[in-house]
Structure 1
Amino acid sequence: MPQKSVNLPQKANPVLVKQANLFADLPTKLIEDFQQEFQLNEWHKGDYINSDVLTKRFFVVIDGQLEIKQSNPETGREATLDMLYAGDCFDLMVLFDDQPHDVIISPLTTVKLLSVKLSTMRHWLWTYPEFNQQFMPYLAKKMREKEQQASSLILHDVPTRLSRIILDHINKIKFYSGAKEAEHHYHLVNGLNDEVLARMAGSVRQVINKQLQLWKKEDTLDKKRNQLIIKDLEALEKEAKFTQALPNEPLAKS
């Protein structure tokens, strides 16, 4: 039976608000004013989050990982619309058109969020130019991501799409556990099992698993349950057919 989402009773403090990239560079006085309107929420993996909440509040992820998806009720097939990480906010569509958004909100980990009334968020955007200047580049970034996602589904095969998804995840969640001297050799990807990767790549689990096993055989990565350890980032970037190096390109050996 699905669990209910949990709203923590305390209000957000200025330090917490400043953790969100969207607000980090705002004047201190403005952050202090904003934080009085924020509520701190915590959702857990497996929680049922009614999408109606998106018509009432605007959310900013400050920790954890969240999947936004849709499903076909006739076939049961699901597709990932967006993968949200710390610093991301949602729902942009409802914010601008004030219409319901029929989506499935699926926390992949324990997720901590700041939330504010939609009307308050709109008021901030129209009233404070310094906040608008912070928000517009984020909006443009999300639009570019959607453009790339759509073009990738049409123009590229599964290995290319899958490699790009993994590299994008690494770029957003940088985490390494192991010997310091080997840090630039390994990149850890948590929380993306075969089914999630299939939804993101517009494919099916069996095809994704076959490709991951091939990369494992080629020593490009190691696969353990819901964890991928990237061992050859250069090979993955070559598969992705990127025209320029990613920000998290491996450090050169000294």
Structure 2
Amino acid sequence: MLQTIERAGLPDLFEHKKHIVYPAGGSAFSSSDTMKNVYFILSGKIKISQVNPETSKEQTLYLLSRGDIYDVITLLDGREHDYISVALEESEVVEVPIGHIRELIENDPAFNTFFFPYLAKQMRNMEDLAVDLSLYDVYNRLLRLIARNVDTAKGRSLKLIHNLSHEELAALVGSVRKVVNRNIQRLKEEGILEVSRKQLKLKSLQQLFEKLKY
């Protein structure tokens, strides 16, 4: 998305920018940062999550990668957003003052042709998460997570989740590591997943689709 915006010729967006690199395992932008700036992800992977302080249970809300924008919620409503952000791998972002992005939304139709479809995609992702947590068990949440991350351009490869730990996968599907371990083993036995050296790979797309029917 960022390359597309650059090609569209939106100089105001890039006149006031700052490149930042977050090391793997380190904190990324904070809620106070996103009250002032919007972040365009150039590379890497950044997790946005919330944690229950009483139980320490974590729920991942977004996995941001190249082409993502954060934080569109604060950008639109101006309210501070409670979250934790962690760079799961070295990540490069472009920081742009929030006021400049609001000006683009108000005055630049070319920017909006990219921004509003992205906003709709994020809203749909949150809807999917709410449906998964409300209506499906952990096994089926994993199936749906895998289906959403199949990289059709690379055959059986999985996007974003292929190298996540079972603990990180548990945070994505609203569960705990022990339960996810058990269900990943089931998916392996059913011939849906290949698991090796903390790498997940889709073994059978047909098997995946067959399971999703039920």
TM-superposition CA deviations, 1:141-178 (whole Å, max 9, x none)? 11111111111211122222111112222349x6x5xx
Are 1:108 and 1:191, in contact at CA under 8 Å, matched by a contact in 2?
A: no
Distance in 1, matches of 2:66 and 2:212, equals 24
What aligned pairs does 1:96-245 form with structure 2 within 5 A after superposition? 96-171=76-151, 184=155, 186-188=156-158, 189-241=161-213
Structure 1 unmatched ranges of 5 or more: 1-16, 177-183, 243-254
What's the counterpart of residue 42 of structure 2?
Answer: 62
Contact 2:151 2:157 in 1 (8 A): no
User: Are 1:45 and 2:45 an aligned pair?
Assistant: no
Please list the CA deviations of residues 15-39 of structure 1 after superposition, one character each: whole Å capped at 9, or x if unmatched: xx852x5x1562x3x2x44322221
- For 1:74, which of 33, 54, 58 is the aligned residue? 54
TM-score (norm 2): 0.89
Give the corresponding residue for 2:75: 95
Distance in 2, Cα, partners of 1:120 & 1:213: 48
* Structure 1 moving runs of 4+ over 4 Å: none
Q: Distance in 1 between matches of 2:208 and 2:185?
A: 14
Between the aligned partners of 1:238 and 1:44, the Cα distance in structure 2 is 40
CA RMSD in angstroms comes to 2.1
What is the rounded CA distance, in whole Å, between the counterparts of 1:227 and 1:62 in structure 2?
23
Letter matched to residue 73 of structure 1: P
Number of positions where the alignment pairs a residue of Structure 1 with one of Structure 2: 211
TM-score, length-scaled by structure 1: 0.76
Distance 1:63 1:170 in 2: 19
SS at match of 2:150: helix
**Structure 1 residues 94 and 73, CA, compared in 2 at 3 Å: closer, same or farther?**
same
Sort the Cα spacing of 1:18 and 1:46 in 2 relative to 1 into closer, same or farther, 3 A.
Answer: closer
Q: Which has the larger radius of gyration?
A: 1
Preserved contact between residue 41 and residue 112 of structure 1 (Cα < 8 Å): yes
Structure 2 regions of 5+ residues with no counterpart?
none
Where 1:105 maps in the other structure, the secondary structure is strand
Q: Which amino acid aligns with 1:233?
A: L
Matching residue's letter, 1:61: I
Higher relative contact order (CA 8 A, sep 6+): 2
Is the 1:187–1:231 contact (alpha carbons within 8 Å) kept by the matching residues of 2?
A: no
Identity percentage over the alignment?
A: 34
User: 2:67 is aligned with what amino acid?
Assistant: G
Amino acid at match of 1:187: S
Q: Secondary structure at the match of 1:222?
A: strand
Measured after TM superposition, the shift of residue 40 of structure 1 is: 1.2
1:111-137 C-alpha deviation (Å, 9 max, x unpaired): 111110011111111111221222111
Q: Indicate if the aligned counterparts of 1:64 and 1:111 stay in contact, CA closer than 8 A.
A: yes
